[in-house]
Structure 1
Amino acid sequence: MSKDSTASKTPAIVVGLSGGVDSSVTALLLKQQGFDVSAIFMKNWNEDDDAGYCPAEEDFADAQSIAAELDIPFHGVNFAPEYWDNVFSYFLAEYKAGRTPNPDILCNKEIKFKVFLDYALSQGAEKIATGHYARVKEENGEFFLLKGKDNNKDQSYFLYTLGQYPLSKTLFPVGELEKPEVRALAEKFQLATWDKKDSTGICFIGERDFAKFLSKYLPAKPGDMVTPEGEVVGQHQGLMYHTLGQRKGLGIGGRKASKAAEKTAGMPWFAAQKNLSNNQLIVVQGKDHPLLYSQHLSASQLHWVSGKAPAAPFQCMAKTRYRQADQACTITEINKLAAKSTNLNTETQTNCVVEFDSPQFAITPGQSIVFYQGEICLGGGIID
């Protein structure tokens, strides 16, 4: 897009065209609505491109094909250096510290709605658009982040770090649709991606052996899997390979119950806690084991969509993982912290304490808790 395109009669919108059906239909809808549409493909990963793990080349070709079908300008931009510095380095640091990060959330904040947004605006765009299942509403000059119409695809959980400025410059056209409607539109207008499988996970991991991938960047440190009573029941290859609540992949499914808990014989094993000082993974049998549940948590690196924290105590709904049903809770405390620099470049230095109405399964440090009031996403933070 040329910088003088702002002089055109219709608003200029740059679509982040990923090569998937959602962003394809996003571009289609905006063109149908009369916007001056162009598209950009973001490449965020350069490492091991030749190993066949990241489908960036195929996705680029699909995005290019869609742009040609819709007759809109298209080009690719490489944001891999920014991704490495602002997302992947944090991803590695969190795993090294024994936590389980969510890089998609940070990628949205640091790349798609910061680096990409700034780039698009510098090229003369008025706004950007992506294929996220979420909505933006403006009311009296304030912008609200809303859940997508499709409850099964709502992606507001991944977007809670967006503030007033990026929301004022962003469109989410497919957020008003159900996923089957999106595919039906793509098929109706014969878009090449209409039946393309949805991407899973983050691009640089792809369909690969996660443990093998992570071991390229962090040294594995094997240790014991132990019961809460201290009985060794297996070996782990590294705490970083496990997340709380994990059932599959522990490799101890055929073992008998621990000596201290014969009544759980035959029940599946779950990862319940990590003992970092002893490099031990605490495992328990049965999904109802009390060590798998907690009714409170603390979170830091808070971000509020409105830019203002609510006054505690504050009752709302929250989820501690994507696709979890909203859970009733009370934010009992919001505390100011001493200012410090973090990889997240957070605007606020606060933490909060959250009490749930009922115990929650496998609350995981490093993941995000996201707060809601009805369909409005209020913001969230990183679970400590």
Structure 2
Amino acid sequence: MSDLIMVALSGGVDSSTVAWLLKQQGEPIAGMFMKNWEEEDTVSGCTAEDDAADARRVAEILGIDFHGRNFAAEYWDDVFEHFLAELKAGRTPNPDILCNREIKFRTFVEHARDLGAKAIATGHYARRRDNDDGTVSLLKGVDHNKDQSYFLYALDQEQLSHALFPLGELTKPEVRELAARADLPVAAKKDSTGICFIGERNFDQFIANYLDAEPGEIRTSEGTVIGTHQGLIHYTLGQRKGLNIGGLKDFPEAPWYVTYKDIDHNVLYAEQQTDHPTLMSTELEAGQLNWIRRRPEAGERLHAKVRYRQPDQTCRVESINDNGLVLSFERPQRAVTPGQAVVLYDGDECLGGGTITKNNAPLPEQLLRTLNKESVQA
């Protein structure tokens, strides 16, 4: 295997700057573009063709070999089907985390190695530290506004040991400045947002092409019917937009927030308090755990994030084993959502995390009455 480094060129400013930086350092590099979604599916808003053209153009400017690969089949099997299954089960999945583990740092790596690469480099804002004991650690990027370690928590030692993150010590403004100084054609290109296979399109319209949704009632915690939902797959905890609740004579004209999804009875609960008790949790349970370098210990005090870009939250590991953990928080957390990731940190080091399975927010009063009634009847 040669000293070649394969850069994951996406056609954006971050990965393009990575390639330029490595080239400036004299590293032998090549670029590879991943196509993870078939554009023949016209409901998608992906811009893979334009992005591939930008990636190829950057490679030509830098004078490096360019490779294109289609991972759409792998993405469908390893990421998208899981995404649909989680939505159908009433949870809110994060496909970017699974994409990193299964596609960018597995399938991509396999193809890079077939082309003789010893390592890969990506545009993630994160850092890798090589430890004296031969292990590697994943650290936050120095730009805490862009830090993407949250999305990388599911990687293992093998995946990280061959990964380079040249942007980890830089801020986003510095990256754009470097790209402009290098005359890269993507220096001012807008950052991609959201999930690639949905792109700029309406999420509900997109998902309707793959999953059937059964409309049902929207109720307050006390059981008052206040509207109709379009299917629980279209909603997540804390959501404000898209509820279409208004003009209720017994309620003030104020925003409504999703507080609970009752999958068994197909009922959506909502309240007008952004910090309603049903939305607030002091504890969570998580499974499908992955620890990068070490597993936390019961009783250990750490910091955690239950969503991307959330400020670090002080927490305590109440219990932990191979199958799951229980985590408590110093302050109540809003909208702790099953299906999302909880990621733990010891200072700047990302220890790993897992998928949230349960929060301890109180159930709506009306649902408790329904469950008690069903229990008595049974």
In the superposition, the TM-score normalised over structure 2's length comes to: 0.92
> Which stretches of structure 1, 4 residues or longer, exceed 4 Å deviation after superposition?
49-52
The CA deviation at 1:199 is: 0.1
What is the aligned counterpart of 2:306 among 301, 320, 335? Answer: 320
Query: Corresponding residue for 2:91?
Result: 99
The 5-angstrom pairing of residues 88-237 of structure 1 reads 88-140=80-132, 141-237=134-230
The CA deviation at 1:254 is: 4.2
The CA deviation at 1:212 is: 1.0
The 5-angstrom pairing of residues 1-384 of structure 1 reads 6=2, 11-46=3-38, 48-50=40-42, 53-140=45-132, 141-258=134-251, 265-306=252-293, 308-336=294-322, 350-384=323-357
Paired with 2:126 and 2:48, the residues of 1 have a C-alpha distance of: 24
The CA deviation at 1:236 is: 0.6
Deviations 1:170-190 (A, max 9, x none): 001011100000000111111
The CA deviation at 1:325 is: 0.4
The CA deviation at 1:315 is: 1.1
Residue type at the aligned position of 2:94: N
Deviations 1:271-328 (A, max 9, x none): 000001110111011112111101001000000011x422212210000000110100
Paired with 2:143 and 2:347, the residues of 1 have a C-alpha distance of: 14
Q: Is the 8 A contact 1:130 1:171 kept in 2?
A: yes
Residue type at the aligned position of 1:12: L
Q: Which runs of 5+ in 1 are unaligned?
A: 259-264, 337-349
Q: Is the 8 A contact 1:164 1:305 kept in 2?
A: yes
Paired with 2:71 and 2:327, the residues of 1 have a C-alpha distance of: 36
Deviations 1:36-80 (A, max 9, x none): 010000001115444562100000000011001111100210111
Paired with 1:357 and 1:24, the residues of 2 have a C-alpha distance of: 41
Q: Is the 8 A contact 2:121 2:163 kept in 1?
A: yes
Q: Is the 8 A contact 2:44 2:199 kept in 1?
A: no
Count of residue correspondences: 356
Q: Is the 8 A contact 1:257 1:266 kept in 2?
A: no
Paired with 2:247 and 2:102, the residues of 1 have a C-alpha distance of: 44
Residue type at the aligned position of 2:50: E
Q: Is the 8 A contact 2:6 2:32 kept in 1?
A: yes
Q: Is the 8 A contact 1:133 1:155 kept in 2?
A: yes
Residue type at the aligned position of 2:31: A
Deviations 1:121-169 (A, max 9, x none): 1221110000000010101111010001111000000000111111110
Paired with 1:217 and 1:378, the residues of 2 have a C-alpha distance of: 35
Residues 97/334 of structure 1: CA separation in 2 closer, same or farther (3 Å cut): same
Q: Is the 8 A contact 1:252 1:269 kept in 2?
A: yes
Q: Is the 8 A contact 1:142 1:164 kept in 2?
A: yes
Paired with 2:295 and 2:316, the residues of 1 have a C-alpha distance of: 14
Q: Is the 8 A contact 2:6 2:112 kept in 1?
A: yes
Residue type at the aligned position of 2:350: C
Paired with 1:135 and 1:310, the residues of 2 have a C-alpha distance of: 20
Residue type at the aligned position of 2:325: C
Q: Is the 8 A contact 1:317 1:326 kept in 2?
A: yes
Paired with 1:87 and 1:237, the residues of 2 have a C-alpha distance of: 25
Paired with 1:331 and 1:80, the residues of 2 have a C-alpha distance of: 38
Paired with 1:296 and 1:18, the residues of 2 have a C-alpha distance of: 38
Paired with 1:289 and 1:254, the residues of 2 have a C-alpha distance of: 21
Paired with 2:35 and 2:11, the residues of 1 have a C-alpha distance of: 11
Residues 176/257 of structure 1: CA separation in 2 closer, same or farther (3 Å cut): farther
What is the RMSD of the two structures over their aligned residues, measured on CA atoms?
1.2
Q: Is the 8 A contact 2:43 2:206 kept in 1?
A: no
Residue type at the aligned position of 1:79: F
Residue type at the aligned position of 2:309: R
Deviations 1:216-249 (A, max 9, x none): 1100111111001111101110101011000111
Q: Which runs of 5+ in 2 are unaligned?
A: 358-378
Query: Corresponding residue for 2:364?
Result: none
Residue type at the aligned position of 1:35: E
Query: Corresponding residue for 2:361?
Result: none
In the superposition, the TM-score normalised over structure 1's length comes to: 0.91
Residue type at the aligned position of 1:326: D
* Greater CA drift, 90-99 or 308-317: 308-317
Q: Secondary structure at the match of 1:379?
A: strand
